[in-house]
Structure 1
């Protein structure tokens, strides 16, 4: 995991080069203008910690630190859903500031992100796809609760 962030950045560059796309939206915006080569790495870098926090405490946070995006989304599990709150550090203001996502749907989206990231690297014949945690993200036994 010492090289995890570097590997994620390299993986995002590879996925961008083979034409993969990535779309993120919410809080009143149909698209946050993310690109695969840089912006997606901000999310994937934080994915294991997000998953661990959601599994252990029902809470987590992602800092979308990319210039121009600059917002933080917090996650809190309440009843059968996650309450997501968005805090902007730019002139853009989320409207609404709070969204609710069914917990099964949220967990499915995070699992699919990890799996698709790894599968894309495998399709690109990248050696990164064989390293952990990326290899595990493709497996049927992948556990979103631990990120492994």
Structure 2
């Protein structure tokens, strides 16, 4: 399976708004409390690849760990600069190293946990990788709008919603 990350809001319910008004700070500070709200609302996060279709990821910790990395990953994709996406939470501990060679993206998976990738490397077009990331951040923005509307008007969520 090709590396994929997805957000599923099909079972999500609109948050009542209680508690969400206290969300402040930069993306690093917002990620954990925001992901608590997303999880409570029923938003699902999926990741897989490198020979394993379904990684054991969750919204509260694993999604919270990658949200602050996404602006940099997307910027690197647009500029063609090498980048990483680090699933560093205990139990997952996988680092995706992304290098670009023209129109191609090479993704390598390094595991520091018990799990080992069946496929160490994947190649896909830079456009295909970009499309997947854009779908992901766009759906993430829609989920944020659902559970914490006051955050949907700040960066990077405003930009992601327009992608």
TM-score (normalizing by structure 2): 0.79
- The 10-residue stretch of structure 1 (25-34 or 119-128) with the greater mean CA deviation from structure 2: 119-128
Q: Does 1:115 align with 2:121?
A: no
Q: Deviations over 1:66-114 (max 9, x none)?
A: 1011111111122332100011101211111001122111101111111
Q: Looking at both structures, which has the greater relative contact order when contacts are Cα pairs under 8 Å and sequence separation is at least 6? A: 2
Root mean square deviation, CA, Å: 1.7
Secondary structure of 2:59's aligned partner: coil
Equivalent in the alignment of 1:135: 158
CA shift in 2, pair 1:71/1:125, >3 Å: closer
How far off its partner does 1:124 sit? 2.4
Q: Does 1:10 align with 2:25?
A: no
Q: Does 1:19 align with 2:60?
A: no
TM-score (normalizing by structure 1): 0.86
Contact 1:51 1:60 survives alignment (8 Å): no
Secondary structure of 2:107's aligned partner: strand
Q: Does 1:100 align with 2:117?
A: no
CA distance in 1, matches of 2:148, 2:79: 34
Q: Does 1:51 align with 2:59?
A: no
Of 49, 62, 83 in structure 1, the residue corresponding to residue 106 of structure 2 is 83
Equivalent in the alignment of 1:62: 85
Count of residue correspondences: 140
Equivalent in the alignment of 1:146: none
Structure 2: gaps of 5 or more residues: 1-24
